Amino acid sequence: MSYLSDTYVEETRFGLWFLRSHTWQHRVLRVAINDLRSLFSEPLPRDAVLLDAGCGQGKSFQHLHQTFAPQRLIGVDADPHSLSLSNEEAMRRCMDVELIGSDCATLAVPDSSVDLLFCHQTFHHLVEQERALAEFYRVLKPGGYLLFAESTEAYIDTWVIRWLFRHPMQVQKSADGYLAMIRRQGFEFGPHNVSYPYLWWSRAKDFGLLERLGLRQPKPIGQREETLVNVVARKPLEGVV
């Protein structure tokens, strides 16, 4: 059974290979999860239910478990083959992970049932981004956290990424665009909950080569086009009795 729909753009063969590579696990996933952990203003929820929206092949499970120690871990993905690989990854790690075949725009998850929602490099594949974000808000408990890590249009709209991967280009956004969308949905966050990683692999025009060779200094935030944005955003506690 396929869960893919016109709200999600499938990955290329190269993309599927890359998502199980050592580089993806250690230079992308692990770095993003550690950065998101550093953006929390309050203590982590205890015995949390953590949902990995767009879990892919499950390579995030080990890092999420080590970093956030959830009591329950749920993986959601629209691709049945990726879910099968996620199941194999969970078994290999001896982890108990509940896997759900679902599009992010129509999550098969109850209202207010999740403490932490991890969305890493998934949003730029989604056509119905506003609907997906509304679903994230719905399934999070009041006071729950969205852990959002995404590449911006400045990275996605480069020749090397267009060549190797597949994305709905009409919905790609800048860092400010993603933050504004998250705030419009009702999530709350401050400057201390946001980071703009400027990692070499995210600069597809030159991969930061001149800077790594010491021939150029990196531009500071505010003077460059951001390629990545990470934010820990909270669903308000208002209305809780």
* pTM for this entry: 0.86
Residue 166, pLDDT > 50, answer: yes
User: Which strands make up the sheet holding 97-101, listed edge to edge?
Assistant: 97-101, 72-77, 49-53, 114-120, 140-151, 228-234, 194-195
Cβ contacts of 198 within 8 Å, gap of 6 or more: 208, 218, 224, 226, 227, 228
Query: Residue 218: pLDDT above 70?
Result: no
pLDDT value for 65:
96
Reported as a pLDDT band with limits 50, 70 and 90, residue 5 is: very low
pLDDT value for 167:
58
Contacts of 196 (CB under 8 A, 6+ apart): 175, 221, 226, 228, 229, 230
DSSP letter for each residue of 5-42? -TTBPPPPHHHHHHTTSHHIIIIIIHHHHHHHHHT-SS
| Predicted pLDDT of residue 157 | 62
Q: Check residue 205 and give its pLDDT.
A: 56
pLDDT for residue 110: 96
Superfamily (CATH) of domain 13-234? Vaccinia Virus protein VP39 (3.40.50.150)
- C-alpha–C-alpha distance, residues 205 and 100, integer Å: 37
Q: What percent of the chain has a predicted confidence (pLDDT) above 70?
A: 75
Q: What are the residue ranges spanned by the domains of the chain? A: 13-234
User: Rounded CA gap, 90 and 198, in Å?
Assistant: 31
**Structural contact between residues 116 and 149, judged by C-beta atoms closer than 8 angstroms:** no
Q: What is the DSSP letter of 213?
A: T
Non-local (6+) Cβ contacts of 150 within 8 A are 119, 120, 121, 122, 123, 124, 178, 228, 229, 230
Residues comprising the chain, all counted:
241
Asked if the model's pLDDT at residue 161 lies above 80, the reply is no
Q: Are 193 and 233 contacting, i.e. CB atoms less than 8 angstroms apart?
A: yes
Give me the mean pLDDT over the 21-41 stretch.
88
Q: What is the dihedral of CA 160, 211, 179, 142, to 10 degrees?
A: 100
For tokens 């709200």, the residue is: 7
Locus of tokens 């080569």: 209
The whole-angstrom separation of Cα 188 and Cα 232 is 9
H/E run at residue 195: strand 194-195
Mean pLDDT is lowest, of 71-80, 122-131, 185-194, 216-225, for: 216-225
Burial 171-189 (b: 16+ CB within 10 A, else e): bbbebeebbebbeeeebeb
The pLDDT value given to residue 27: 80
pLDDT at 97: 97
Q: Residue 112 has what pLDDT?
A: 97
The closest of 83, 36, 92 to 64, measured between CA atoms, is 36
Which sign, positive or negative, has the C-alpha torsion 76, 175, 20, 117?
negative
